């Protein structure tokens, strides 16, 4: 049992109530009571049913599909908390939408990730707790403290028993993901390989080469998200052509947009593992063979407890014990 006192309140938006409930179970508290609804004209309404005056409040809301509705609900939620005199408001964003719009690659385009970070701050957030941002430097977009967590403990616990370090290779599906893949390779004692990718559009990619050896190896591809699954599924073809013995895919955020489910189902993965930062539909879970959803509730719950008690969050990832069940 974790002693967090009676000043801590954890509320859930409508994007991921199951994850919030699991977080509260870890903390041994009940979720805050709230009335949230959508009016016939599409306007959102939030009414707090619990007293939050002087409380340390955390709002759990993944800004996933429908992204604009979930984002707006989060902003309204925090405005309600601020006007109800909450002592501190932390926006818990297991998945941060708009993260891929983090720079200007051409003229006359927005940097929407910065805009969203400004909106969250202005709505009343005193700090942000999030997981596996698409680009770690997005933390700098916020003018309030950001605690950036990793789903690594959940994946490490799951794959340690499935991947032999002598026969395993961690593959980064693109150059931008090398740092994450290298971390897994070092901690699991596996080799590292990198796919040299040339993207042709936002929804498709062309693969050219593999830097490293995958022949006869058990491969694990690690990424931060699966959006349309084009990157992972094209990578599977190349890795299989190079003679891999088995191929597993893993990503923190199961966005699963457009043709993603059909692509993953047809790709022939030995396993696909994601986390519950975004709810996964039952249909998707049934369609994709050997599909696993790992929970990050304990990671988020422990971080919330430490923030509430003014303890270090970064120490969560030092000397981790991967033997315990996530």
Q: Is 117 exposed, middle or buried (0-12, 13-18, 19+ CB in 10 A)?
A: buried
Active site residue 309: no
Q: What is the pLDDT of residues 104-114, one digit of tens each?
A: 989 999 999 99
Contact between 162 and 272 (Cβ < 8 Å) = no
Contact between 52 and 80 (Cβ < 8 Å) = no
pLDDT at 324: 37
Q: What is the pLDDT of residues 137-161, one digit of tens each?
A: 999 999 999 999 999 999 999 998 8
Taking residues 212-240, what's their average pLDDT? Answer: 94
47-50 own/partner pairs: CB under 8 Å, 24+ apart: 47/80, 48/11, 48/80, 48/81, 48/84, 50/9
pLDDT at 174: 85
Taking residues 126-134, what's their average pLDDT? Answer: 97
Quickly tell me which residue has 């919030």 as its tokens: 20
Residue 23 has pLDDT above 70, yes or no: yes
Give percent of the chain above pLDDT 70.
Answer: 93
Closest among 312, 296, 266 to 94, alpha carbons compared: 296
Quickly tell me which residue has 């009940």 as its tokens: 30
Residue 188 phi, psi dihedral angles, 5° rounding: -100, -5
Residue 198 has pLDDT above 70, yes or no: no
Strand partners, 313: none
Sheet arrangement for strand 146-149: 8-12, 56-60, 88-93, 127-131, 146-149
Rounded distance between C-alpha atoms, residue 146 and residue 141, angstroms: 10
Residue 100 has pLDDT above 60, yes or no: yes
Rounded distance between C-alpha atoms, residue 270 and residue 290, angstroms: 7
Taking residues 217-243, what's their average pLDDT? Answer: 94
Closest among 142, 162, 128 to 273, alpha carbons compared: 162
Between 316 and 151, name the one with better pLDDT: 151
pLDDT at 182: 95
Identified catalytic residue from 197, 237, 292, 309? 197
- Reading the block at residue 36, the tokens are 């949230």
Rounded distance between C-alpha atoms, residue 269 and residue 261, angstroms: 12
List of residues 6+ apart from 20 with CB closer than 8 A? 10, 11, 12, 31, 60
Rounded distance between C-alpha atoms, residue 171 and residue 168, angstroms: 10
Number of helices (H) and strands (E) in the chain: give both, helices first. Answer: 9, 14
Contact between 163 and 188 (Cβ < 8 Å) = yes
Q: What is the pLDDT of residues 24-39, one digit of tens each?
A: 999 999 999 999 999 9
- Reading the block at residue 59, the tokens are 């709002």
Domains of the chain, earliest start first: 8-150+297-317 (3.40.50.2020), 152-294 (3.40.50.2020)
pLDDT at 201: 60
Residue 307 phi, psi dihedral angles, 5° rounding: -65, -45
Closest among 21, 28, 36, 25 to 74, alpha carbons compared: 36
Taking residues 182-189, what's their average pLDDT? Answer: 93
List of residues 6+ apart from 309 with CB closer than 8 A? 4
pLDDT at 199: 57
Average pLDDT over all residues of the chain? 93
**Would you say how long the chain is, in residues?**
326
DSSP 3-state of 73: helix
Contact between 248 and 188 (Cβ < 8 Å) = no
């Amino acid at each position: 049992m974790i002693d967090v006192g009676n000043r801590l309140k954890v509320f859930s938006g409508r994007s991921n109530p199951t994850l919030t409930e699991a977080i509260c179970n870890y903390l041994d508290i009940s979720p805050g009571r709230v009335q949230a609804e959508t009016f016939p004209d599409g306007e959102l309404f939030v009414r707090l049913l619990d007293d939050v005056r002087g409380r340390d409040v955390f709002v759990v809301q993944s800004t996933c599909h429908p992204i604009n509705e979930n984002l707006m609900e989060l902003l309204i939620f925090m405005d309600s908390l601020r006007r109800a005199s909450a002592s501190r408001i932390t926006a818990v964003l297991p998945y941060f939408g708009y993260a891929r719009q983090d720079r200007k690659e051409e003229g006359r385009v927005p940097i929407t990730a910065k805009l969203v970070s400004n909106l969250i701050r202005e709505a009343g957030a005193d700090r942000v707790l999030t997981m596996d941002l698409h680009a770690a430097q997005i933390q700098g977009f916020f003018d309030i403290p950001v605690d950036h967590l990793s789903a690594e403990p959940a994946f490490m616990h799951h794959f340690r028993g499935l991947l032999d370090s002598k026969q395993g290779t961690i593959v980064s599906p693109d150059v931008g993901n090398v740092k994450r893949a290298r971390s897994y390779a070092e901690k699991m004692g596996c080799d590292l390989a990198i796919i040299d990718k040339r993207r042709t559009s936002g929804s498709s990619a062309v693969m050219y080469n593999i830097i490293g050896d995958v022949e006869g190896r058990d491969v694990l591809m690690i990424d931060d998200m699966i959006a349309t699954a084009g990157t992972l599924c094209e990578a599977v073809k190349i890795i299989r052509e190079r003679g891999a013995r088995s191929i597993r895919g893993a990503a923190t955020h199961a966005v699963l947009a457009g043709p993603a489910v059909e692509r993953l189902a047809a790709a022939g993965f030995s396993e696909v593992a994601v986390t519950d930062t975004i709810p996964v539909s039952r249909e998707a879970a049934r369609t994709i063979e050997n599909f696993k959803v790992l929970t990050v509730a304990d990671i988020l719950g422990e971080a919330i407890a430490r923030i509430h008690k003014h303890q270090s969050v970064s120490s969560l990832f030092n000397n981790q014990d991967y033997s315990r069940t996530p």
